[in-house]
Amino acid sequence: MKVHLLRDGDFGRIVLDRPPANTILQPVFADSGQLSSFLADPDLRGVIVSGAGRHFCGGADIEALRLGLLDPDRLAAALDSGKTLLRLLADSTVPVVAAIRGQCLGAGLEIALSCHLRVAAESALLGFPESTLGLIPGLGGTVGDGDRVDRRARTDLLLTGRMVGAEEARSMGLVDRVVPAGDVNSAAEALLRAWTKDRSPGLVRILLEAMRNARRLPREDALRLETRLFIQAALEAKQ
């Protein structure tokens, strides 16, 4: 799969590109150095993650995965690196929004869940089909790293492997907004614009840093650092 890192004015686009369903050949689906420097651009105000064509991402390519299992140690290392990529998205200090159309399955859903917010088309299909192939998700889907997926819903999706539509996905906490299929990209962009237009880049960065601490650090430490970030924001606002 190719992953395009594009700039479109203030916003960046990460496009998963391997038609028809943008399935993933390698757990390390992008170059982590390129991705982190893309996200670190000081002029970048937000990022939209989407799939080329009709689908977001149909998950891992099963044949590639079977081949990968011939060398389990190497696959394990690759899965770890894949999780590092997802963490780059989740820990980004500019907002990252997933724009989901069509299939968003398995590893695709794990990528989407690493984004800060998910906008889905009414016709989108989401799920963890791994169990129907005798597998489990390999990029954090069983853990739910700070996402808001209802625990019972997650268990249901993981065990049955069934796909759900966008509205049901919303009721489960898998997606945040549901819009008509043609509006997914514009809705994601409108959201990023609304979030950033009246806010300084520094403030957005500080806020996302505080929220990252809340997910990654013990509560006490996150609260202490919030105070520091509050003062930093106050100082920057004064200038």
Partner 1 sequence: MNALPICLELEDGIAHMILDAPPRNVMDGRFFDALGTIAREVLPGLDVKGLVIRGRGRHFSAGADVAALRKRACHRIDVLPGSGNDDASGQVLPELRSLPDPVALSDLHRNAVVFTAIEQLRYPTVAAVDGACLGSGLELALACRWRLATPSTLMAAPEAAFGLIPGCGGTVRLPQRVGLGAALDLLLTARFVDATEALELGLVDAIVPRGELAQAAVRLVLRLAEVTGGRA
Q: Does 233 bind partner 1 (CB under 8 A)?
A: yes
Q: Does 42 bind partner 1 (CB under 8 A)?
A: no
Q: Does 153 bind partner 1 (CB under 8 A)?
A: no
The residue range among 13-21, 35-43, 101-109, 211-219 that interacts with partner 1, by the rule CB under 8 A, is: 211-219
Among 31, 67, 148, 182, binds partner 1 (CB under 8 A): 148
Q: Mark residues 108-137: x for contact with partner 1 by CB under 8 A, - for none.
A: --------xxx-------------------
Q: Which of 130, 167, 189, 226 is catalytic?
A: 130
Within 158-187, which residues bind partner 1 (CB under 8 A)? 173, 176
Q: What angle do CA 175, 182, 9 make, to 5 degrees?
A: 85
| Beta carbons within 8 Å of 84's beta carbon, 6+ residues apart | 32
Cα distance from N-terminal residue to C-terminal residue, the chain: 45
Distance CA 23, CA 17 (A): 8
- CB of residue 220 to partner 1, shortest distance in Å: 7
Q: Does 193 bind partner 1 (CB under 8 A)?
A: no
Distance CA 117, CA 98 (A): 6
Give the closest residue to 127 by CA, choosing from 96, 98, 97, 159: 159
Q: Does 44 bind partner 1 (CB under 8 A)?
A: no
Q: 130 catalytic, yes or no?
A: yes
Give the closest residue to 45 by CA, choosing from 193, 232, 212: 193
The residue range among 53-61, 64-72, 181-189, 192-200 that interacts with partner 1, by the rule CB under 8 A, is: 192-200
Please give the positions annotated as active site. Answer: 110, 130
Residues of this chain that interact with partner 1 (CB under 8 A) are 95, 116-118, 146-148, 173, 176, 191, 194-196, 198-200, 203-204, 206-211, 213-217, 219-238
